[in-house]
Structure 1
C-alpha cells in the first residue's frame, strides 16, 4: 500500500478520533486505546507465542483491536521519540483503520445476532396445513372420486372427498367468487371463469400412470418415489414406510418439510387401477388390459392425495391479468418456494406455470404452491448432478431449462449445478405474471442454449424498476452474476415493504436495516393476532423473517442500491 493511499484511508477513518477526544493529550489517547498506563519508551514486555505455533504466526494471535492499539501507540512513540513523519503517518493511519474495522466487525456480530433472534421467533410457528389432520385414508375405497380436473404426461388428477377430511376454515374465495368481485375491466380478460375447487370435494387425487413398473407395491414405490418428496410424515403406512425407496440413482430421496408455497401430499398408497370418469376417452392406452384390451398399463399404480386447489397458474393467467402488486407478490411466492427447496438440497427441474397451483385468500390475493415433483433432484448428491453420460436425465421441460443445464456436455467429472436453475425458470414465468408471453415458449421464441440477454423482450412500463431488475438478474446466463432465489426474494421484500429505509441509506449499513427488521417483525406479529389484511402477504413476510441472513440481506440491498447504475443500459432496453 502506498503512503498516499494509507494517509487517505487514515483521514477517512480518522473521524473516530473525534469520538475518542481529539483535543486530549496524545499520551492519554494512546493510553485509553491500549487500555493500560502510559508508556513513552518502548515496552519491554513482549507476548510470547504458544509453543505449538511457529513464531511467524504470532500476529494472528492478536485481535484487531489489540493490533490497532499497538499501531496507534507506536505512532505516538515515534512522534515523541523524533521518528520520521512518514512513519508516524503510516502507523497512525493503519492503527485508526484497524480500530474502525474492529468496530465494524462488532456491528456485524450484533446484526447477525439480531437476525438469529428474529429467525428463532418466526421459526417456532410451524406452517399450518390447510386441511384438518386425519388418521384414515390409506385405501382407495375410503374416498369418493369425482370428475377429472387435470392431466399431465404421466398422471391424471381427480377431485375427491372423504368424510374424515373436512377442510379447515380459511376464509378463502374461489376463482368464480373472485370474478364476481372484479369491477375493473382493465384487470381481466374476456372469457368464462370456470375454475374453482368444489367445496364438496376438498381433496385432489393424483393417479399415476404405471407402464413398466410392475404391479407390486414395492416396485411401484421404488419407481415413483420422487413423487413422495413433498409427502408428509403420515403419508405412508408403517408397512409401506419400511420399503427401501430408491430414487433415480439408487438412493433414498429426501423429504420436504411443509411450506406455504409447496404442495403437501397427505396420503400415498397403491391400489388397483379403477375405471374412473373420462379414462376411456382421455387416456385409454395407459389402462390395464382388464379395462382396455389394448392398454399398456399395469393392474396397480400409485395414488397421491393432496388438497384440491382452484386452478393452475396457466389456467388463471388465461382468463385473468393480475395487477402490478398481485403479480409482484406471486413472483415473490415462487421465489420463496424455490428457496425452500434449495435450502433442503432439492431441485424441482420442471418448473412451469402448469406445475404451479393457486387458490385465493379472503382478499382475493392468489396463493401459489409448487407441485409435481416427478422430475426433481432430491438425493444425497445435493444440488449437483454427475453428468458423465448423455443418458443422465437432466430434468423435464427443455424450453425452460436453465442455460447451464441445457449447454452441459457430458464427460468424466462433469457436474451440473442446479442451485440457481429453478430461479432462472422463475424469471421466465415472471413474463407470464405481468401479462406477456413467455419468451421461451413461442414458436419464434428464444432458446436457453443460445439466447443473449439483449434479446429478451421488454416488460411493460408499468412494472416497477426494482421488479424489472430482479427479472433481468434472474435471467443472467452467467450463474455467478445471477442471484440466488433467497437474494432475489429479499430484493422484492425490500422493494415492496422497505422502500423508505432503502432510500434513506447512502451505502450498505446495518443500523437502518436493523430498525426496519424490528419494525417488520412487530408488524407481522401483530398481523398474526388480527384478522385483517392479506393472509398471503403475512405468510410471505413470515417466510422472509424466518430465513433472515445478514449476508443475503446485504447482497439484496447492494443489488437494489447499485444495480440501477450497473444495469442502466439494460433497463433502457427492457423498458417499453
Structure 2
C-alpha cells in the first residue's frame, strides 16, 4: 500500500471516529472548542486559503498540525477510553495524516511562489519582431510585388519588398537545396547553403472578395477573423475605429505576439490588381474590370507579414527532421496552440499547409501557425460555440477535426468545446513530422475517421521517436477530451523530457523541492544564454515559453502523465 493511500485510509478512519465520538455532544463541545481550543499559539499560525494552492488542499482552512494536536488532546481529556491503546493509535494516525498534509502544503506553497517569481521574470521579456519597426505600408503601392508563393481556397500569397521594412535576420534554406539528394527524404542540416532573403523579406496575402462589398467597413467586417494575429499598428487609426462585427457577430479577439504564431504587420483595403498568374490561377474571383466573367469585387483585404521559405507540408516532402528536431517541432505547435487557447482563440483548421516554416541560426526548423480564416475568436466565448443548427460553422479541415467536434449533433442546448480540439490536431500532424502518413486523411485506404476510430487502431510511430514524445502523441489523440491533456500539459511533458535531465530522470521519485531547484537552475541557464545573444534559437525560445507559463497544477499533471508513461514502458519491457 502506498504512503498516499495509507494516509487517506487513516484520514477516513479518523473522520469516522470523529463523527461517532467527538460529535456526540456537538452543541456543548463545539462552543468551547471554538473559543478555547482553536487558539493555538499566535494568530499568525493560522493559514488562510490561497488561490495558488492545489484544489485538493483548499478544504483545510487552518493550521493542520495544530488542529491535529487539539483533536488528540480533546479526545484524551473528554471521552472515556480515549487513553486506550486502540484509540491512541487512531488519534495518532489522524494527527500524523494531518501533519503530513501540512508539510506537503508548505512544500507546495514554496514551489508555487517559485513558479510565480519565475513566470513574472520571463513574461517581462517580450517576443522581438523579426522586422525592424516601420510606420508606412498602408497602401499596396508601397510594396514591390514579386512572384506568387502560395494559393488557398480564399486567398493568394505573393512575395513583396519595401525599403522601410528590412529583416533583422535573413537566412533561409530553399526547398531545391533540401531536395537535392533525390526523392527520398533525408535528415539534413539546413544551414549548409544559406541564402539571403533581402530581396523579398515580406509576403502579401490578397483575400478573394466575393459578395462582401467594396467598402472598407464591409470588407473588414466580413474578413475580421484574418485580423486575429494582427499587430497593434496593423490598421490605420481611422480604420481601427471601424466596428468589426466578424463572422460570429462580435469583435474578434487579438492575440499578442508569440514566436510560434504568425504576425500580421499591416492590414489594409485596396483595389484588386492584376498580379502575375492571376488570370491563369484564379480568374473567377477577379473583378469584372479585370475579367468580364469574374465574380469578385473591386476592392479587397491585403495582409502583410514576414516571408517564410515554405510551409510544413512542403518541407516534409523533401526533408526528414532528426528525432530531436521532430520533438521540438511538435513542442512548438503545442506552444502556439496553448498561446491561442489562453487568449480565447481556437484555430479550427490546423494542418501542415497552415504552418509556415523557417530556420534558426543552428538549422532547427521554426514553426508558426497561420491562416486564421476559420478560427473561433469570439470575446467572452471561453472557446465554447453554441451548436443549435447545422448551419453553424464548426471549423475547417474535416479530416483533422477532433472527435468531440466531428460527432457533435446540433440541438437547443448543445455546445461544442474547442479547448482541446487544436491539441488533438497537433497529435495527428505529429505523424507527418516523424515521416509517417497522417492516419486521418481518408483518401488513403487505411485512413481513419475521427468520428469512429478507436485508439488501438492508431498506427505506430517509428521506433526512433523518443518514448516520451510517443507518449504525448498517444495522449493527444485520445477520443475522450476529458482524458486528453491540454496543450499546456502536453508541452510541459516534452519540456520536462527534453531538459529535465538527471533531476527528473525518475518522476516518481522527484519531490516538489527537487522540481523547484531544477526550475531555478533552468531559469539561470536560460538568462545567461540569452545575455548578449544577437539572434534567438528555437530551443531558447521554447525554454522561455515554458518558464513564462509555469503553473504548479500543470506541472503536477505533467509529472503524473510522465510517471504513467514510464510505468507502462517498464511493464512492456518486463
Cα distance in 2 for partners of 1:316, 1:412 equals 44
Do structure 1's residue 443 and structure 2's residue 444 form an aligned pair?
Answer: yes
Cα distance, 1:320–1:44 mapped onto 2, change above 3 Å: closer
Cα distance in 2 for partners of 1:539, 1:523 equals 13
Residues paired across the two proteins, number = 523
Cα distance in 2 for partners of 1:62, 1:488 equals 35
Shift of residue 487, structure 1, vs aligned partner? 0.4
Contact residue 68 and residue 94 of structure 1 kept, 8 A? yes
Cα distance in 2 for partners of 1:324, 1:420 equals 25
The residue number in structure 2 matching 1:143 is: 143
Cα distance in 2 for partners of 1:552, 1:196 equals 41
Shift of residue 300, structure 1, vs aligned partner? 0.3
Aligned to 1:363, the other structure's residue is in SS state: coil
TM-score, normalized by length of structure 2? 0.85
Cα distance in 2 for partners of 1:533, 1:195 equals 16
Aligned to 1:460, the other structure's residue is in SS state: coil
Cα distance, 1:46–1:437 mapped onto 2, change above 3 Å: closer
The residue number in structure 2 matching 1:389 is: 389
Shift of residue 234, structure 1, vs aligned partner? 0.2
Contact residue 222 and residue 244 of structure 1 kept, 8 A? yes
Shift of residue 513, structure 1, vs aligned partner? 0.7
- C-alpha RMSD over aligned residues: 2.9
The residue number in structure 1 matching 2:114 is: 114
C-alpha offsets along residues 235-293 of structure 1, whole Å, 9 cap, x if unaligned? 00111111110122211011000000000000000000000001011000000000000
Contact residue 260 and residue 366 of structure 2 kept, 8 A? yes
Cα distance, 1:195–1:418 mapped onto 2, change above 3 Å: farther
Q: Which stretch has the larger CA shift, 492-501 or 549-558?
A: 492-501
Shift of residue 355, structure 1, vs aligned partner? 0.3
Q: Which runs of 5+ in 2 are unaligned?
A: 12-28, 37-58
Cα distance in 2 for partners of 1:115, 1:498 equals 16
Shift of residue 199, structure 1, vs aligned partner? 2.2
Do structure 1's residue 175 and structure 2's residue 152 form an aligned pair?
Answer: no
Q: Which runs of 5+ in 1 are unaligned?
A: 12-41, 50-58
C-alpha offsets along residues 4-55 of structure 1, whole Å, 9 cap, x if unaligned? x9899669xxxxxxxxxxxxxxxxxxxxxxxxxxxxxx99964339xxxxxx
The residue number in structure 2 matching 1:324 is: 323
Among 486, 489, 513, the alignment partner of 1:487 is 489
Cα distance, 1:285–1:421 mapped onto 2, change above 3 Å: same
The residue number in structure 2 matching 1:130 is: 130
Cα distance in 1 for partners of 2:472, 2:132 equals 37
Cα distance in 1 for partners of 2:507, 2:72 equals 31
Cα distance, 1:284–1:180 mapped onto 2, change above 3 Å: closer
Cα distance in 1 for partners of 2:146, 2:316 equals 25
Shift of residue 507, structure 1, vs aligned partner? 4.0
Cα distance, 1:473–1:196 mapped onto 2, change above 3 Å: farther
The residue number in structure 2 matching 1:359 is: 358
The residue number in structure 2 matching 1:339 is: 338
Among 532, 556, 559, the alignment partner of 1:557 is 559
Cα distance in 1 for partners of 2:521, 2:535 equals 17
Cα distance in 2 for partners of 1:214, 1:534 equals 43
The residue number in structure 2 matching 1:503 is: 505
Cα distance in 2 for partners of 1:425, 1:180 equals 27
C-alpha offsets along residues 440-481 of structure 1, whole Å, 9 cap, x if unaligned? 114221110111111111100111111111000000001111
1:532-571 correspondence to structure 2 within 5 Å: 535-566=537-568
Shift of residue 106, structure 1, vs aligned partner? 1.3
The residue number in structure 2 matching 1:469 is: 471
The residue number in structure 2 matching 1:460 is: 462
The residue number in structure 1 matching 2:19 is: none
Contact residue 171 and residue 195 of structure 2 kept, 8 A? no
Aligned to 1:266, the other structure's residue is in SS state: strand
Contact residue 81 and residue 87 of structure 2 kept, 8 A? no
The residue number in structure 2 matching 1:39 is: none
C-alpha offsets along residues 463-510 of structure 1, whole Å, 9 cap, x if unaligned? 111111100000000111100000000000111111422224434631
Cα distance in 2 for partners of 1:534, 1:344 equals 24
Contact residue 288 and residue 298 of structure 1 kept, 8 A? yes
Cα distance in 1 for partners of 2:269, 2:6 equals 72
C-alpha offsets along residues 202-254 of structure 1, whole Å, 9 cap, x if unaligned? 00000000000011111000000000000001000111111110122211011
Shift of residue 188, structure 1, vs aligned partner? 4.3
Cα distance in 1 for partners of 2:187, 2:81 equals 82
Cα distance in 2 for partners of 1:194, 1:246 equals 47
Shift of residue 198, structure 1, vs aligned partner? 3.5
Cα distance, 1:60–1:535 mapped onto 2, change above 3 Å: closer
Cα distance, 1:397–1:87 mapped onto 2, change above 3 Å: same
Contact residue 138 and residue 237 of structure 1 kept, 8 A? yes
